[in-house]
Structure 1
């Protein structure tokens, strides 16, 4: 039996991994999905975790990458179904269901890697906490040690890492981690990208502008906006500036957490 742990770089999966290794639980592979659009701070954090796991436990992190770029995904055309021939556009899991970029950047690389390894049997550790029991998936291959073995909540994971000075610096800005343009983020998170991560925000603006130009030129584009209500980056900038001047940054909570980005 091969045991695999998925590492997102977030507090829950990091705490889970350290607990599994500390308690000498069976663990053969640690897998991190590099979507190619993580924050620079995430890459630095994963490198530090890699050094720590290697030095203390003799474990390496396997980094998986997508076979196509984000832009190939976004500007690619739908090959079948009612939207055949249309340009896919930006991911919009709130309206389109499953995130196409997550499939290309996380699911497909993991499936290719599993196939190449030819494991006879395997188990996958998932870092869901006691706050997320409803997210448990069917299938005997999934294990949930934070729920079943350690009875830990998200707050417990935060405290565990804080006590050991293992916190991801991105939590200074965000309540969750992921692609910097993740459409499942809250408006508050996008405000932080706009305010503190200018190159990432400018990339979002460029991709959106190119898709809008294609649509205005007569192309069928499924989604041209990062935001609900077809709001553009320019629209959001105006709102962020207005709220900043008012000193009233009141945002809704994160709209979506069922993006399965931890697996």
Structure 2
């Protein structure tokens, strides 16, 4: 039996992996699924985690990448399964109510391919759901939920665990959750942080949006051109963000700076 832990770099999965290793639980592989569009801070954090897990426990973090680029997905055409929209430009992942197409390409498929390439036939996957996420448990004997069933840890417990060891992800200075830099499921407050503190990522979003609108003007049919719900554009959001920023930073955090020096591990 092969035991695999999925590491996103968020507080829950990071605490879970460290707890598993500290308690000597069976763990053969630690897998980070790179969407190719994580924040630079995330890549540096995962690199530090990898060095730590390697040095302390002799465990490597395996990075999986998609076979296609995000642009390949966005500007690709819908196939026969789309019926009435066959041949349309796929466009951006839908902000609300639909499974994320890029998650499927960037996370699910690379993991399935890796399992097959490794010749792994029997495996257990550790999932970092906390005690407040019992309702998210998936059917299937292959899934294990140690934060719920073994360690009884909430999100607050996971945050405290990392804070005590001074190994927090610096992205939590800006966000309450982690994910792709352009994740359409994030809140307006999170997008404000992208606009204000991560201009390179925000500019990328604007460029992709502009290309889609340009294709539509040329007569192409595009399934979704909008990053944001209610068909709001990046220009619409910038107006809101600039107004909020002038009003004493409506979306700003005022938390104590995080400690990410890994000094107490």
| Same topology, TM > 0.5 | yes
Answer with 189-198 or 79-88: which moved more: 79-88
RMSD: 1.1
Q: In structure 1, how many angstroms separate the alpha carbons of the residues matched to 2:101 and 2:247? A: 37
Q: In structure 1, how many angstroms separate the alpha carbons of the residues matched to 2:249 and 2:41? A: 28
Judging changes above 3 Å, is the alpha-carbon distance between structure 1 residues 127 and 114 closer, same or farther for their aligned structure 2 residues? same
Contact 2:192 2:251 in 1 (8 A): no
Task: Tell me the CA shift for residue 248 of structure 1.
Answer: 6.1
Match of 2:91 in 1: 89
DSSP 3-state at the match of 2:20: helix
Deviations 1:106-132 (A, max 9, x none): 000000001111223100000000011
Matched, 1:27 2:23: no
Match of 1:44 in 2: 44
Task: Tell me the CA shift for residue 244 of structure 1.
Answer: 1.7
Q: In structure 2, how many angstroms separate the alpha carbons of the residues matched to 1:176 and 1:210? A: 29
Task: Tell me the CA shift for residue 140 of structure 1.
Answer: 0.3
Q: Output the TM-score relative to the length of structure 1.
A: 0.93
Q: Which runs of 5+ in 2 are unaligned?
A: 253-265
Judging changes above 3 Å, is the alpha-carbon distance between structure 1 residues 248 and 202 closer, same or farther for their aligned structure 2 residues? closer
Q: In structure 2, how many angstroms separate the alpha carbons of the residues matched to 1:94 and 1:63? A: 28
Matched, 1:65 2:65: yes
Q: In structure 1, how many angstroms separate the alpha carbons of the residues matched to 2:145 and 2:8? A: 15
Match of 2:115 in 1: 114
Q: In structure 1, how many angstroms separate the alpha carbons of the residues matched to 2:168 and 2:9? A: 10
Q: In structure 1, how many angstroms separate the alpha carbons of the residues matched to 2:140 and 2:221? A: 39
DSSP 3-state at the match of 1:30: strand
Answer with 23-32 or 80-89: which moved more: 80-89
Match of 1:206 in 2: 207
DSSP 3-state at the match of 1:94: coil
Q: Output the TM-score relative to the length of structure 2.
A: 0.92
The alignment of Structure 1 onto Structure 2 pairs a total of residues equal to: 250
DSSP 3-state at the match of 1:127: coil
Match of 2:127 in 1: 126
Task: Tell me the CA shift for residue 187 of structure 1.
Answer: 0.3
Match of 1:215 in 2: 216
Deviating runs (4+, > 6 A) in structure 1? none
Q: How does 1:1-263 map to 2 (within 5 A)?
A: 1-80=1-80, 81-82=82-83, 83-95=85-97, 97-247=98-248, 249=250
Q: Which runs of 5+ in 1 are unaligned?
A: 252-263
Task: Tell me the CA shift for residue 236 of structure 1.
Answer: 0.1
DSSP 3-state at the match of 2:158: helix
